[in-house]
Amino acid sequence: MKMKTSKAVALTVVGILLSIYILFPFVLVVINSFKTQAAIVQNPISAAGASFKQFATNLSSVINNKNFVFWHAFGSSAVVTVISLVLLAVFGGMAAWVICRNKTKWSTAIYMVFISSMIIPFQVVMLPLIATFREVGKFVGLGMNGTLPGLIFAYCGFGGAMTVFILTGFIKGIPYELEEAAAIDGCSPEGTFFRIIFPLLKPTIVTVTILNGMWIWNDYLLPSILLGQSNPNKTLPVAVQAFVGSFVKSWDLILTAALLAMIPMILVFLLAQKHIMDGMVQGAIK
Amino acid sequence: MNEINSGKKILSLVLLIAGVVLMIAALWMDFTKTYLVINLGSTKLAFRGMFLVLGALFVLAGLYYIPTVLHHRAIINFIFLFPLLFTFAVTVIIPMFVGFFYSFTDWNGVSFSRMVGFENYAAMFKEPAFIWSLLLTILFVVVNMILVNLVAFLLALLCTTKLKGVGFFRAAYFLPNLIGGIVLGYIWQFIFSNVLTTILNSPYSALANTNTAFMAIIVVYIWQYAGYIMLIYVNGLATVPKDVLEAAQIDGANEIKTLFQIKIPMIAATFTICTFLTLTSAFKQFDVNLALTNGVGTVRNFMGSRLSNGTQMIALNIYNTAFARDQYGYAQAKAILFFIILACVSLIQVRISNKREVEM
């Protein structure tokens, strides 16, 4: 299947043009965060007026802004994402294993509830969620609304269904003989899971973690209603929203803030590009 | 062996008793309103919540150490399922039922004074702004289902050729999908209101007019989502067996014929997945809508009234009904309707696609 050279050249040109179109907004963000507001308004496309000194000025005014508080927001996002992902992987693996290896009425019912809940849009549970969290928090005596543990708790609840769904599909393919052999050798059920099944789950855990991670890191609605715009522990997307709300048209600062919010994700992508792209596809196909 | 067992027995008993005592103490404090609080200067340490959580953990640990061979597996199953089921119940199941109930009341977010029956549901269909949002969402979904899939499929065809740099193209096209809708929305707001006006040398931003603003949302959505759908198509196209393609070539099929008569029918399942994904995600579109236009836009005459929410889609409409207008019960009723529509549409879509896959 050799292609004619002229055709290959034409297709390559199309591909490059499309890449330019798709990457253009990112380039604009980078260029303009090196400029002053006046220079941006004058000509947003050219690099005229861009300097590292201006970038440093923009950067420091964004990072020290009291509505944005970049490092704090970054820390909150990182803590929430990492802890939620670890808990989802461990708890999800445990639940999926139990559901998969016990073919009783109960486990099938639980599995069906998990699957059917995946179609529920967030808007349906959004408002009663605040009320439920408030009541549960009052009853238990722990703050659930407005705290990071409450947010992590919510992510475990919302991410659980998809995690269990994907992991169950994988555990089904692990031969049961492995577990029987372990049991004969005197391994307890919990030991069987943590020593044999969980290590085997690793590739699927990576997929699940990527899917959940992209969702949790970029999620705006859940943290914005659970934490609130003025919460000191707000996550990055909420911080960007709060920051832009306070500066109506200061594009120099807004674009610098956008750049700061994008960099972590792009760095992760550059490091684990293949894993992320494969993970997104695997998650969708299952 | 016996010694270990008796040790385990005592440990399990102690843990179970401690757990139950702690939980009862916490509940007792809850009902009698005696809050054990220790003042530590500026921060107060409340023990009630800690007691309850510690109690629950102790009970679970006690269950784990019960020295039984017969029921050990069942206990482990319970402990393994408990964390996820508990969070799932509190965040999804309970709010789902509570929300269904609240949609029949005049709930204001904190309390409700009376049941209103189907009043909330009836009111929706008399509110022009809501009908507009609903119709706009449906239009958005239909347009995007076609355009995103078309663009993504063409990109996938480009990315499965044997060009140099295909890997780079894939990564570049996928990149926008990594960034959250809020940040993207603001970047594109800048592009539409500053960059494009400079390039086209026009004083008007596309976002200032309702029609063009709606198209702007579509453009941004395709830009963000097509790369992801493309990856799924690329994956699907890679599953088409090489020998089939070679056989077609030998039989003299040209590229277009190969595409329509072999490749597309063979990846019908991929089309089902992609339409389902675009359908559900376009229906739930919120972040870009909020950041790009915030739903603003004038509609001069719709059902006899002037609207100011020309680009507001249903998810944003529900959000604003609750948080800007404080009509929580009403917003909840809208959300239930939204859920019913989404569930019906996705079921129909899956049905139709499955049927067609069989026919092919």
pLDDT band at B66 (very low <50, low <70, confident <90, very high): confident
Q: Cβ separation of B93 and A95 shorter than 8 Å?
A: no
Residues of chain A with Cβ-Cβ distance to B331 below 8 Å are 127
Q: Average per-residue pLDDT in chain B?
A: 84
- Residue of A2, A22, A130, A135 to mutate for B, most B C-beta atoms under 10 A: A22
pLDDT tens digits for B49-64? Answer: 777 788 888 888 888 8
With a cut of 60, say whether residue A87 has pLDDT above it. yes
Largest pairwise CA distance in chain A: 77
Distance from CA of A8 to the nearest CA of B (A): 7
pLDDT band at B71 (very low <50, low <70, confident <90, very high): confident
pLDDT tens digits for A188-211? Answer: 888 888 888 899 999 889 889 988
With a cut of 90, say whether residue B318 has pLDDT above it. yes
Of A103-117, A239-253, B276-290, B327-341, the one with minimum mean pLDDT is: A239-253
- Under the phi-then-psi rule, with left for phi > 0, alpha for psi from -120 to 50, and beta for the rest, what region is B294? left
Distance from CA of B295 to the nearest CA of A (A): 15
Q: Which of residues 205-234 of A touch B (CB under 8 A)?
A: 214, 217-221, 225
Residue from the list B49, B96, B336 with its beta carbon closest to the beta carbon of A141: B49
**The pLDDT value given to residue A217:** 92
Q: Percentage of residues in chain B with pLDDT exceeding 90? A: 27
CB B151 within 8 A of CB B222: yes
Distance from CA of A177 to the nearest CA of B (A): 17
Residue from the list B50, B77, B198 with its beta carbon closest to the beta carbon of A44: B198
**The pLDDT value given to residue A84:** 96
Q: Is the ipTM of this complex over 0.85?
A: yes
Please count the other Cβ atoms lying within 10 Å of the Cβ belonging to residue B52: 22
- Residue of B91, B159, B242 to mutate for A, most A C-beta atoms under 10 A: B91
Angstrom distances, CA of residue B289 to CA of B47, B151, B190, B313? 44, 21, 14, 7
Q: Is B343 on the interface with A (CB under 8 A)?
A: yes
CB pairs under 8 A between A and B: 276
Angle at which helices B181-190 and A5-32 cross, to 10°? 90
**The pLDDT value given to residue B4:** 60
Distance from CA of B346 to the nearest CA of A (A): 9
CB B46 within 8 A of CB A141: yes
Q: Is B273 on the interface with A (CB under 8 A)?
A: yes
The mean pLDDT of B101-129, rounded to a whole number, is: 87
Q: Which of residues 52-71 of A touch B (CB under 8 A)?
A: none
The mean pLDDT of B249-262, rounded to a whole number, is: 80
Q: Is A156 on the interface with B (CB under 8 A)?
A: yes
pLDDT tens digits for B89-114? Answer: 999 999 999 999 999 988 887 888 88
The mean pLDDT of A172-179, rounded to a whole number, is: 87
Non-local CB neighbours of B303 within 8 Å, separated by 6+ positions: B128, B131
Of A214-218, B127-131, B198-202, B213-217, the one with minimum mean pLDDT is: B198-202
Q: Is B182 on the interface with A (CB under 8 A)?
A: yes
The mean pLDDT of A205-232, rounded to a whole number, is: 89
Ordered DSSP codes for A254-279: HHHHHHHHHHHHHHHHHHSHHHHHHH
CB B102 within 8 A of CB A128: yes
Q: Cβ separation of B228 and A280 shorter than 8 Å?
A: yes
Q: Cβ separation of A139 and B195 shorter than 8 Å?
A: no
Alpha helices in chain A (DSSP H): 5-32, 37-42, 52-63, 70-101, 105-117, 122-140, 148-171, 176-184, 189-192, 198-200, 202-218, 221-226, 236-246, 251-271, 273-285
pLDDT band at B338 (very low <50, low <70, confident <90, very high): very high
**The pLDDT value given to residue B144:** 93
The mean pLDDT of B122-141, rounded to a whole number, is: 92
Distance from CA of B272 to the nearest CA of A (A): 10
